[in-house]
Amino acid sequence: MASIEEFEDHCWKDVVPAADLKLYSCYARKTYVGTRPALLAIDLYNIVYRGGAKSPYELDPIYPNSCGVYAHDAIEPTKRLLAAARAAGIPIFYCTQETRPNNRPAGAVSTRRQNAAMPHENDDYDIYREFTPQAADTVIRKQRASVFQGTPIVSHLNILDINSLIVCGESTSGCVRASCVDAYSNGLHVSLVEECTFDRAQLTHKVNLFDLHHKYVDVMHVGEVITHLERLAQPKNA
Amino acid sequence: MASIEEFEDHCWKDVVPAADLKLYSCYARKTYVGTRPALLAIDLYNIVYRGGAKSPYELDPIYPNSCGVYAHDAIEPTKRLLAAARAAGIPIFYCTQETRPNNRPAGAVSTRRQNAAMPHENDDYDIYREFTPQAADTVIRKQRASVFQGTPIVSHLNILDINSLIVCGESTSGCVRASCVDAYSNGLHVSLVEECTFDRAQLTHKVNLFDLHHKYVDVMHVGEVITHLERLAQPKNA
Amino acid sequence: MASIEEFEDHCWKDVVPAADLKLYSCYARKTYVGTRPALLAIDLYNIVYRGGAKSPYELDPIYPNSCGVYAHDAIEPTKRLLAAARAAGIPIFYCTQETRPNNRPAGAVSTRRQNAAMPHENDDYDIYREFTPQAADTVIRKQRASVFQGTPIVSHLNILDINSLIVCGESTSGCVRASCVDAYSNGLHVSLVEECTFDRAQLTHKVNLFDLHHKYVDVMHVGEVITHLERLAQPKNA
Amino acid sequence: MASIEEFEDHCWKDVVPAADLKLYSCYARKTYVGTRPALLAIDLYNIVYRGGAKSPYELDPIYPNSCGVYAHDAIEPTKRLLAAARAAGIPIFYCTQETRPNNRPAGAVSTRRQNAAMPHENDDYDIYREFTPQAADTVIRKQRASVFQGTPIVSHLNILDINSLIVCGESTSGCVRASCVDAYSNGLHVSLVEECTFDRAQLTHKVNLFDLHHKYVDVMHVGEVITHLERLAQPKNA
């Protein structure tokens, strides 16, 4: 849904050198939403919204997991994306941390963060109130960065006859990247929604979007994806 | 721990024809417990004990998931096995059904049983009272027959530096077989404890043990395995 | 494509006790070929045809891997099945052993057979001459029993937009069972073709078909499956 | 083997802002080589060395897959690393593209590069002459970025009793990153050797090393790793 000429019209243009963009021109192509998509909302849980719409640099001493302003800026586009997905009737998947007792041995965690407690059963890893899952949605509990690692999502997608994903969430350089690479490598077309994807730091956010877009997925703008979903939502022979 | 001459000293001798045993003599070998083992107790949950120590044929109309007498006969040896594993200090894994809300789409179930409700949050899939997990144990929640399918157990075993399994539980022809094949195919040595493994029907129980023993795992008697664990439990230089 | 009344009309009727069939009546259902199927032909390689259409008991001393008469009886129905699949234009997958140099460490093999050499580069593991793969087919090289274990087949099926399998080949108690369980657990509908599936010994062949049919797949007769494929092959608006 | 104070002494210091380094200080820790390691050399095949030690910007029109000077600069340290690994007697794994006929359907490729032909059987994907595999090494053929995706490597590592990896090769932003994330998520400790890892463009090389080091692996200098391997190579009680 975006032409080959628009392939680099994304947020990384101010950090990736022109010579590198030229080197990566071999990846340029039209982007699109795949057939029979599901929406996958990655790690939209409470702790990344803590402290409000401030810079993560400022929030870090008190809320070391918060994506602050980047998380809050993504709330409105993500609400619109979810609403369009629900209107189109496509399956909706969320993922979050597994927090149940006895769920893993020490050390089986998403990253090597040193001051992190094991996820536990407070509301840190509940889905943020603006995006509460509904009865028909599926919530995948994971222990690692990728939603495909040690979870049943591949079988769920097959059962629901899904063969592509629309992805949003965080963090771009962590769980989003790992999940997108795995989705692509499992044979799924992935559309990653730029305005609904975020991280704590901008350089790594942008370079990871750049890598993902060229090598594995179609980074798309939220308007394009919503337009596509609205078309799906229309009665077939209205 | 059992010699090659004892390779066929198991419960299947009364159902497998002598000519087939001869055909399978190419699989005969010594059996043993592997190095750095963990214990894996498969699906020791309440519904398979319902109705007491009666024949599953008799229990079927009221308790269609019960293994009846076969489940109850395995209680004492399984308690001894678990006690020996705890005394030896090896890691202990349980698995059971995932019952949390929103955990899967319809149809992502262990078998094609037709009258089965989706697993739900009563006590059907709690571990039976004789085998209650302890704080240091890991409980894997699964949706399919094999404990390796769509779960993080491979990463747990690597983190705990485990490279073999001692397996018990049910059903021999379902979750035990699927889990044992996957364990073997993932490169783990498996010792399956005959007296602590059970099913609803004897022919398929015995033929599956026969298949597993020859092709993938060492079916061993509970006494052999407990003796091995007792040796592990002894202080190294007492 | 077979009614619920025909659910037990299969080869295991002479070995599974009537009381067990009753116990398993909770699995009875209509059987069918799924939507968007691929054909998967498991391990139709030369060594299982060695020595001709004789009993494996007789062939064992010279051809210890041969399925003899069971392999040869399946040749004609398998040729018809493959022809129907090609006429219907569905994707065709084969699998066989990986035989390339340096492909694995010692011990990474399909079963614990003791006298087995590592697969090597003679013609033992070439596909039998009656079933030679064609240019558009995919041949999966595997090291373990299941075609899903350590292979890229899941991604291939997703790319080809396949969500069900028609399966044939050998051995019922080894690679066929392991592959069918994995296919089901990955969310695929599986139709296993009875007359095109075989093993070295009849008891374990029949009990494994019985287990697979009730728990994981639809065991179907070759005529039913070919009729379905012929319908797929017809021009849509002829 | 590197102290917590040296945690950021790596090549990314000139591209990652100081404020981001501060934000990521929660990941700082000692780095080390794990117990029972194997060496994994990723995609050291001919096409990335084509055209000699020039800038990829310059080589791109003729050798669009070449890493040029970055590949050639890594040759000497990689030879030393391989020699040390061989002297220490640890298992050595290579990976490269699968090029055999009929190995996959169209589209099952590592990245979405548009002008790429399907890998074929010339010498493009043979291991570069300086690093030729030896008889005891394992060569994994893969179709996707990660060496863990659709390959039997997990079972090989278990069989060889390996629980950590020393990784080198290319590309940092592609196959190295995907493989390292999967290794970590499978429960393996990973030491990624900075001087033996390379890419076509420096910004994404450095940001990916930065991401990997903080979240998933220990990026280490080649000297540290070789010193460790030399210690392993010494006779235990010399």
In chain C, residues with a C-beta closer than 8 Å to the C-beta of D133 are 102
CA distance A93 to chain B (A): 10
8 A C-beta contact, residue D147 and residue D76: no
> What is the arithmetic mean of pLDDT over C162-177?
98
- State the average pLDDT for chain C: 96
Contacts A–C by Cβ distance under 8 A:
28
Strand-strand pairing, B218-220 and B189-198: parallel
Give the angle B225-B230-B234 at the CA atoms, nearest 5°: 150
What is the number of CB-based contacts under 8 A between chain B and chain D? 27
- pLDDT range class, residue C237, cuts 50, 70, 90: low
pLDDT tens digits, C196-213: 999 999 999 999 999 999
Q: Is there a contact between B27 and C208 if contact means CB atoms under 8 Å apart? A: no
- Within 8 A of C105 by CB-CB distance, chain D residues are 91, 138, 156, 159-160
* pLDDT reading at D118 higher than 80: no
Contact assessment for residue B107 and residue A158, using Cβ atoms and an 8 Å cutoff: no
- Among A211, A68, A93, smallest CA distance to A154 is for A93
CA dist., res. B143 & res. A155, Å (int): 10
Q: Which of B159, B163, B185 is closest, CB to CB, to D161?
A: B163
With contact defined as beta carbons under 8 Å apart, do A225 and A231 qualify? no
pLDDT in tens, D101-112: 999 999 999 999
List the single residue in B19, B181, B203 with the smallest CB-CB distance to C145.
B181
Nearest residue of D to residue B161, measured between CA atoms: D163
Which residues of chain C have a CB within 8 Å of the CB of D141?
Answer: 100, 103
Partner residue facing D144 (CB), from A22, A144, A185: A185
Strands of the sheet with A92-97, listed across from one edge: A138-142, A92-97, A37-42, A164-170, A189-198, A218-220
What's the confidence (pLDDT) of residue C121?
59
State phi, psi for A193 to the nearest 5 degrees.
Answer: -90, 110
Tokens representing residue B151 in the block: 């779960």
CA quadruple B71, B77, B83, B88: dihedral, nearest 10: -120
β-strands B164-170, B37-42 pairing:
parallel
- Residue contact A159–B102, C-beta within 8 A: no
Chains with ≥3 Cβ pairs under 8 A against B?
A: A, C, D
Cβ count within 10 A of residue C122? 10
The shortest CB-CB distance from D155 to any of C108, C137, C152 is to: C108
Least confident of C195-199, D86-90, D231-235: D231-235
Tens digit of pLDDT for each residue in C4-27? 999 999 999 999 999 999 999 999
Q: Look up residue D93 and give its amino acid.
A: F
| Mean of pLDDT values over C177-194 | 98
CA distance A14 to A12: 5
Mutation site for C-interface testing, chosen from A93, A151, A154, A158 by largest number of C Cβ within 10 Å:
A158
Instruction: Please state, in angstroms and as integers, the Cα–Cα distance from residue D104 to each residue in C167, D28, D41, D99, following that order.
Output: 19, 42, 24, 9
As a whole number of angstroms, the longest Cα–Cα distance in chain C is 56
D45 falls in which pLDDT band (50, 70, 90)?
very high
Question: Taking the CA atoms of chain B, what radius of gyration do you get in angstroms?
Answer: 17
| Nearest residue of chain D to residue C136 (CA atoms) | D102
Q: Nearest C-alpha of chain D: how many angstroms from C177? A: 19
Flag if A158 and C185 touch (Cβ within 8 Å).
no
Which pLDDT band holds residue B234 (cuts at 50, 70, 90)? Answer: confident
Residue C94 structure tokens: 């084969």
Q: What gap in Å lies between CA C207 and CA A6, rounded to an integer?
A: 59
Give yes or no for a contact between B42 and B148, defined as CB atoms under 8 angstroms apart. Answer: no
Which residue in the set D105, D133, D138 is minimally distant from C104, CB to CB? D138
- C175: DSSP letter: I
The confidence score (pLDDT) of residue C130 equals: 98
A144: tokens are 């690692």
Q: Residue D39's closest CA among D211, D226, D195?
A: D226
Distance CA C144, CA C141 (A): 10
Decide: residue D29, CB within 10 A, 0-12 exposed, 13-18 middle, 19+ buried: middle
β-pair type (B37-42, B92-97)? parallel
Of A128, A153, A139, the residue nearest A45 (C-alpha):
A128
pTM of the model: 0.97
Q: How confident is the model at residue C122 (pLDDT cuts 50, 70, 90)?
A: confident
Q: Tell me the shortest Cα–Cα distance from C161 to chain D, in angstroms.
A: 11
Chains that touch D (3 or more CB pairs under 8 A): A, B, C
In 3D space, the residue among B157, D154, A165 whose CA is nearest the CA of residue C151 turns out to be: D154
Cα separations in angstroms, C179 against C165, C169, C174, C175, C186:
11, 11, 9, 6, 10
- Burial environment of residue B135 by CB neighbours within 10 A (0 to 12, 13 to 18, 19 or more): exposed
3-state secondary structure chain A: CECHHHCCCCHHHHCCCHHHHHHHHHHCCCECCCCCEEEEEECCEHHHCCCCCCCHHHHCCCCCCCCHHHHHHCHHHHHHHHHHHHHHCCCEEEEEECCCCCCCCCCCCCCCCCCCCCCCCCCCCCECHHHCCCCCCEEEEECCCCCCCCCCHHHHHHHCCCCEEEEEEECHHHHHHHHHHHHHHCCCEEEEEEEEEECCCHHHHHHHHHHHHHHCCEEECHHHHHHHHHHHHCCCCC
Tokens of A206: 């942008």
Question: What is the chain C residue with the closest CA to B109?
Answer: C185
- Residues for chain A: how many in total? 238
Q: Residue B18, CB half-sphere, CA atoms under 13 Å: how many?
A: 0
Residue D237 has pLDDT above 70, yes or no: no
**What are A99's two structure tokens?**
């927090």
How far is residue B10 from each of residues A126, B6, B16, measured CA to CA in Å?
A: 50, 9, 11
Q: How far is C146 from chain D (nearest CA, A)?
A: 12
pLDDT band, very low/low/confident/very high, at C234 (cuts 50, 70, 90): confident
Running DSSP on this structure, what letter comes out for residue C189?
A: E
Contact B156 D187 (CB under 8 A): yes
**Residue A174 to chain B, least CA–CA distance (Å):** 18
Section B175-181 average pLDDT: 98
Query: Residue C191 belongs to what H/E stretch?
Result: strand C189-198
Q: What's the gap in Å between the CA of A85 and the closest CA on chain C?
A: 22
Candidates B127, B147, B156: best to mutate against A (most CBs of A within 10 A) is B156
Task: Answer yes or no: is pLDDT of B151 > 70.
Answer: yes
Nearest to C26 among B20, B115, B215 (CB): B115
Q: What is the C-alpha to C-alpha distance for residues A99 and C39, in angstroms, rounded to an integer? A: 41
Task: Tell me how far CA of residue A31 lies from CA of A3, A77, A213, A223, C56, in angstroms.
Answer: 7, 20, 9, 13, 57
Does the pLDDT of residue C75 top 90, yes or no?
yes
The rounded distance, in Å, linking the Cα atoms of B78 and A69 is 55
- Identity of the residue in D22, D114, D207 whose CB atom sits nearest the CB atom of A26: D114
Residues of chain A with pLDDT under 70: 116-121, 236-238
Whether the pLDDT of residue B35 is over 80: the answer is: yes
Q: Please answer whether residues D154 and B186 qualify as being in contact, where contact means their C-beta atoms are separated by less than 8 angstroms.
A: yes
Q: Where does residue D215 fall: left (phi above 0), alpha (psi -120 to 50 degrees), or beta otherwise? A: alpha
Beta carbons of A57 and A120 less than 8 angstroms apart: no
Q: What ipTM describes this predicted complex?
A: 0.96
